[in-house]
Structure 1
Amino acid sequence: MIADPLKIFVTVVEHKNFSRAAEELYLSQPSVSLQIRNLENELGTKLINRSPKHLELTQSGEIFYGYAKNILLLYDKAKEEIDQLSNVVTGGLKVGASNTIGEYILPFVLTEFAAQFPNVGIETSISNTEEISQAIRANYLDLALVEGDVNPADFVIHPLIEDEIILVVPNQHPLARVPIVTADHLQDQVWILRESGSGTRAFSDKLIKDRGIHVQKSYVIGSGQAVKQAVIAGLGIALVSSWIVRKELNARELTAIRIKGKRLTRFFSLIKSKNHEQSKAMEVFTEQLLTHELLTSADK
């Protein structure tokens, strides 16, 4: 395929690593290295300066990278337009998701989409909201599903569903016996928090600040799954998405308690870059997502 050497080069540059690029492309590292050398020989210039621990583009490499990205986009667009003549949706789709959505919602959406459009190649990236948003800005991802707030000046945003944030505590915790807690109840507690950049962490920080809550001690844990297990084990209390503790609440492995005042909610949203051209695969994925039963019928 005419685009293969260019895709290999772009993947190496974006991963800044030959091994990770080879893994993503299902190639051996020697094959990737050979393709880069062939490109350099064909162009008569060095594109990448590399050492065992470092990789950076030469000036020629910077120029070639920009053109290679554009050529790949044009190649995909041409292929899609040709495929549309027979009403076949093809091409690639790079989907990102923040952790909660990536673990509890995206797999079901992708399974249905892949069954309906088997000719679309799908790559996923799951991280916290801040890192996924940065990847959209850089056009490393076509679209993403995130929790919490993002800057509307940077993205096209489609709100998907309201997510309720709930306070969970160990079953043996004194607060587990309090039907409705106030800010006074939450003073000097041990909190389990997500890492900075997480939408849930931003929500927790804002609530703690707005309610004037003094935190006795906090533990930072990098996934929602680990946070809820830490609560079950008795490490502390935490604010979490109701999506991630449904099974545990039904099994009575931990306790959800209400904080006095309005329900704590946020939105899960679909975001895209304002300057990223929409492919047919992006269009149909967006349509399917906005009407997916899991999101439209969820009792939130």
Structure 2
Amino acid sequence: MIADPLKIFVTVAELKNFSRAAEELYLSQPSVSLQIRNLENELGSKLINRSPKHLELTQSGEILYSLAKQILQLYEKAKQDINELTTTVTGSLKVGASYTIGEYILPFALAEFAAQFPNVDIDASIANTVEITQAVRSNHLDLALVEGEVNHPDLDIQALMDDEIILVVPNQHALARLPIVTADHLQDRVWILRESGSGTRDFSDKLIKDWNINVKKSHIFGSSQAVKQAVIAGLGIALVSSWIVRKELAAKELTAIRIKGKRLIRTFSIIRLKNNDMSKAMNVFTENLLSHDLISSLIDNNPSVLD
């Protein structure tokens, strides 16, 4: 590296001693002497007059010392500028999310990221879990946040956080008067469900099957917002993420009912293609998502509605 012999020469010139320069640079004295001789041979001029008790720069040495100091300063600045270039987060980020995450979590995560890294162009897409997963697998999205189970060998899947699923009913519904319900209470009811491909729909279907619940009738809606409004309107009951009904429960527009037994928990996950190089924007955004501060902030602003 061109800076090394110049740094050795400058150190010798300033300390006026080969041994002390060697100690300062963690080198052997013969190595320091060799570097100085190589510089003199390369430049074709003696740089240092040496004697057993004295060391001084020649006229050529004075010229080189002055310019070498400038070169070393410029070299350090170049290293800083290059380091800043490689650590500055720029470029684009194509991120997707399934509806619950995309409507209630992703906007906050993106707002925090955009405030930190304004030079990144963000393209966000929201669809159901199946559609978003396929977009990642076809490389149309850099990464995505999805709800429920995703199992594809070509995907890298990281757990982001837990999500509580709750039962919500219209305020005037017979179940709204009960403090807790069992599977028997849910028999022969009208259900509001998400469309096929939704993570929430998969969760609801599994619970209904596992508990042998007979569905009297179901109405299908293509978004969490529509499901929520259908329940408020009195159309039926639904299993939804606690994230989507915070405001409505606070405003007493619908009722949340505890189901007997343990809480219903699923996982929100970050997915991306395996073996794909992550851009700096992808890497930093993922680190932000997984940071304790972000998750704690989100959870603090969304305490369990059944507590």
TM-score by length of 2: 0.69
Spell out, residue by residue over 1:155-187, the C-alpha distance to the aligned partner (whole angstroms, 9 max, x if none): 211111110000000000000011111111111
Distance 1:261 1:292 in 2: 29
Give the secondary-structure state (helix, strand or coil) at the position aligned to 1:140: coil
Distance 1:285 1:294 in 2: 11
* CA apart distance, 1:263: 0.6
Is the radius of gyration larger for structure 1 or structure 2? 2
1:182 alignment counterpart: 182
Distance 2:222 2:113 in 1: 29
Q: Which amino acid counterpart does residue 167 of structure 1 have in structure 2?
A: L
Distance 2:101 2:119 in 1: 24
Distance 2:221 2:86 in 1: 49
**Correspondence 1:1-300 to 2 at 5 A:** 85=85, 87-151=87-151, 153-291=153-291, 293-297=293-297, 298=299, 299-300=303-304
* CA apart distance, 1:153: 2.4
Spell out, residue by residue over 1:180-225, the C-alpha distance to the aligned partner (whole angstroms, 9 max, x if none): 1111111110000000000000000000000000000000001111
- Tell whether the 8 Å contact from 1:98 to 1:126 is kept in structure 2 after alignment: yes
* CA apart distance, 1:154: 3.1
Count of aligned positions: 220
- Identity value in percent: 74
Distance 1:241 1:227 in 2: 11
Residue segments in structure 1 that go unaligned for 5+ positions in a row: 1-81
Give the secondary-structure state (helix, strand or coil) at the position aligned to 1:184: helix
* CA apart distance, 1:87: 3.0
Q: Which amino acid counterpart does residue 278 of structure 1 have in structure 2?
A: M
Q: Cα–Cα, structure 1 residues 144 and 289, in superposed 2: closer, same or farther, change >3 Å?
A: same
* CA apart distance, 1:258: 1.1
Give the secondary-structure state (helix, strand or coil) at the position aligned to 2:150: coil
Q: Cα–Cα, structure 1 residues 116 and 292, in superposed 2: closer, same or farther, change >3 Å?
A: farther
Distance 1:84 1:266 in 2: 40
Q: Which amino acid counterpart does residue 143 of structure 1 have in structure 2?
A: L
Spell out, residue by residue over 1:126-156, the C-alpha distance to the aligned partner (whole angstroms, 9 max, x if none): 0000000001111110000001010052321
* CA apart distance, 1:101: 0.5
Q: Which amino acid counterpart does residue 265 of structure 2 have in structure 1?
A: T
- Tell whether the 8 Å contact from 1:193 to 1:219 is kept in structure 2 after alignment: yes
- Tell whether the 8 Å contact from 1:113 to 1:285 is kept in structure 2 after alignment: yes
Distance 2:235 2:294 in 1: 32
Q: Cα–Cα, structure 1 residues 241 and 282, in superposed 2: closer, same or farther, change >3 Å?
A: same
